[in-house]
């Protein structure tokens, strides 16, 4: 008996040790796979914040300058005086705006091109290079202009006077921003530049970086894959933040880009790869220390709890399955709920990227009227009955769920051709022609049906849902109680089905 007891204890100890080793190894693997990625994201966040700080300062200066002109424009709209008095006041206003904002100079001009600068000098604005852009019909707007003295931003604030469109034009010299980035570099030998959406450098902080010696920093892509470069350029042109590691003539930089969101400009910061590497190592060592402490805690805890976990494993697993099943079920209809429906369809798409299928969206027609006239209890009965009868209409492998109040989704797998699409669609249309609810007084509930074809009309859940939703919109516009498709040929074929 003692030997048997010792043997049992020995096996329990081995089990505990096995679980402990497994947990430690799992943590090591997780740490190996994720730490550098998390550290990279942390560093990117820090550097993005710095670049965004520069961009925010430029945005603030431009927006403040522009916003101060708005009440002035409203004031000028109310002025009722002769031309000589008006232009005298315009000269004064231009001077005040120029002195109290970051504007280098201010111009107020009429639609005929008669204008006045902040120094009081009259000008024929039609002779200015920027004249075609001042009254472009877009209201208040900002654009960038290349002048002899450098790059300038021009902000146009329109206003009406005597039924005509006038404009306050404010010039912002980007050299003012250059002084900001020259005074605060992030790290030794880092460069900061202002560029357009194609990477062309507008101005920089005067760094001697080789990346600033040519017209555009995106000309240098050594050490970066074509995919990474394309992704960076795409994010940049879509005005999203992005970063990329580049190497030019043995100068390795990590380039961080942040959109300014005024005109087509971006703040670009190039940090030495060596600085990023040092920062990465520092954060990684800190993360390793924390991990070692956690591993020690886990080992102690595993030694204490292993036997209890092992003995209850089956029970916990069973309870988990029951909970997951309940979590996936819509309580009213017994079908899958919205989250479960979406998850299962996404799982199928991931496993069967090339196998055709069809997503069917069902929206009960006039369901609000049912609730209003017959009560919410009867409305719930309609949904409950629909859920009970709809599921047996399809195979057990198909996915049937309720995704909203009166909205249902069906994903039919393994659709072979257009004929099969019509067959499945006809089956659903016929179902609603015969669908009735009520014990004594029968109520016929109909539905508008939209179909999206996978993968033809969408390779992701979101794309396919949009296609089916557009088809559903077509169905509703055509009078409801019918099926519709995005494809015109299928809609022609569906006319026969809809007459069932």
Whether the pLDDT of residue 457 is over 90: the answer is: yes
307 burial type by CB count under 10 A (0-12 exposed, 13-18 middle, 19+ buried): middle
Query: Do residues 478 and 492 lie in contact, with contact meaning Cβ atoms separated by under 8 Å?
Result: no
In the chain, where the domains are located: 177-276, 326-498
Whether the pLDDT of residue 150 is over 90: the answer is: no
Residues noted as catalytic: 406
pLDDT tens column, 65-119: 888 999 999 988 887 766 778 888 899 999 999 998 889 999 999 999 999 999 9
Banded model confidence at residue 230, pLDDT cuts 50, 70, 90:
confident
Of 102, 111, 162, 163, nearest in space to 134 by CA:
111
Whether the pLDDT of residue 339 is over 70: the answer is: yes
Query: Do residues 447 and 481 lie in contact, with contact meaning Cβ atoms separated by under 8 Å?
Result: yes
Query: Do residues 130 and 122 lie in contact, with contact meaning Cβ atoms separated by under 8 Å?
Result: no
As a whole-number percent, the residues of the chain with pLDDT over 90 amount to 36
pLDDT tens column, 349-395: 999 999 999 999 999 999 999 898 888 989 999 999 999 999 999 99
Q: 483-485 and 447-454: which strand pairing?
A: parallel
Residue 3: per-residue pLDDT: 46
Whether the pLDDT of residue 345 is over 60: the answer is: yes
In terms of pTM, does the model score above 0.85?
no
Whether the pLDDT of residue 316 is over 70: the answer is: no
Quote the CA–CA distance of 421 and 457 in Å, as a whole number.
Answer: 14
Task: Provide the strand spans (E) within 188-230.
Answer: 191-196, 201-204
Quote the CA–CA distance of 181 and 51 in Å, as a whole number.
Answer: 10
Quote the CA–CA distance of 135 and 166 in Å, as a whole number.
Answer: 8
Quote the CA–CA distance of 238 and 250 in Å, as a whole number.
Answer: 30
The DSSP output letter for 135 is: T
Instruction: Domain 177-276: give its CATH superfamily.
Output: PAS domain (3.30.450.20)
Write the class of the CATH domain 326-498.
Answer: alpha beta
Residue with more model confidence, 233 or 459 = 459
Banded model confidence at residue 2, pLDDT cuts 50, 70, 90:
very low
Mean pLDDT of the region 122-137: 90
Of 111, 108, 144, nearest in space to 126 by CA:
111
Banded model confidence at residue 25, pLDDT cuts 50, 70, 90:
low
Whether the pLDDT of residue 315 is over 80: the answer is: no
How far is CA 17 from each of CA 7, 23, 153, 487, rounded to the nearest angstrom? 15, 10, 69, 61
């Amino acid at each position: 008996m003692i030997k048997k007891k010792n043997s049992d204890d020995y096996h329990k100890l081995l089990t505990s040790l096995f679980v402990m080793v497994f947990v430690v190894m799992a943590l090591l693997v997780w740490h190996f796979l994720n730490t550098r990625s998390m550290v990279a994201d942390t560093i990117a966040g820090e550097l993005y914040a710095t670049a965004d700080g520069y961009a925010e300062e430029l945005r603030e200066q431009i927006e403040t300058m522009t916003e101060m002109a708005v009440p002035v424009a409203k004031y000028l709209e109310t002025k009722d005086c002769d031309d000589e008095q008006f232009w005298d006041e315009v000269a004064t206003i231009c001077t005040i705006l120029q002195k109290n904002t970051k504007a280098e100079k201010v111009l107020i001009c009429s639609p005929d091109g008669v204008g006045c600068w902040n120094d009081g000098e009259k000008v024929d604005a039609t002779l200015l290079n920027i004249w075609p852009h001042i009254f472009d019909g877009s209201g208040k707007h900002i654009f960038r202009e290349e002048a002899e003295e450098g790059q300038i931003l021009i902000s146009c604030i329109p206003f009406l006077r005597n039924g005509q469109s006038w404009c306050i034009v404010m010039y912002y010299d980007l050299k003012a921003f250059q002084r900001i980035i020259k005074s605060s570099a992030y790290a030794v030998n880092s460069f900061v530049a202002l560029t357009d959406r194609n990477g062309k450098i507008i101005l920089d902080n005067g760094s001697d970086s080789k990346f600033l010696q040519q017209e555009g920093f995106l000309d240098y892509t050594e050490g970066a894959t074509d995919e990474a470069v394309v992704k960076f350029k795409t994010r940049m042109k879509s005005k999203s933040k992005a970063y990329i590691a580049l190497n030019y003539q043995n100068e390795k930089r990590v380039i961080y880009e942040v959109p300014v969101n005024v005109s087509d400009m971006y703040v670009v910061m190039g940090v030495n790869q060596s600085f990023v590497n040092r920062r990465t190592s520092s954060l990684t060592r800190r993360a390793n220390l924390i991990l070692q402490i956690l591993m020690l805690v886990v080992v102690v805890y595993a030694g204490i709890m292993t036997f209890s976990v092992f003995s209850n494993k089956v029970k916990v697993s069973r309870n988990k399955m029951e909970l997951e099943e309940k979590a996936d079920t819509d309580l009213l209809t017994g079908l899958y709920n919205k989250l479960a429906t979406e998850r299962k369809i996404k799982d199928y798409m991931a496993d069967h990227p090339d196998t055709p299928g069809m997503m069917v969206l069902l929206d009960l027609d006039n369901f609000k009227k049912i609730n209003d006239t017959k009560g919410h209890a009867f409305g719930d009965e309609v949904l409950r009955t629909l859920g009970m009868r709809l599921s047996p209409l399809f195979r057990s492998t198909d996915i049937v769920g309720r995704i909203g109040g009166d909205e249902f989704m069906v994903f039919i797998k393994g659709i072979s051709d257009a004929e099969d699409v019509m067959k499945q669609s006809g089956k659903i249309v016929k179902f609603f022609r015969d669908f009735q609810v009520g014990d004594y007084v029968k109520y016929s509930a109909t539905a508008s049906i939209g179909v999206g074809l996978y993968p033809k009309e969408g390779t992701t859940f979101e794309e396919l849902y949009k296609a089916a939703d557009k088809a559903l919109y077509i169905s509703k516009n055509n009078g409801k109680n019918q099926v519709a498709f995005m494809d015109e040929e299928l809609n022609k074929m569906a006319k026969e089905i809809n007459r069932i």
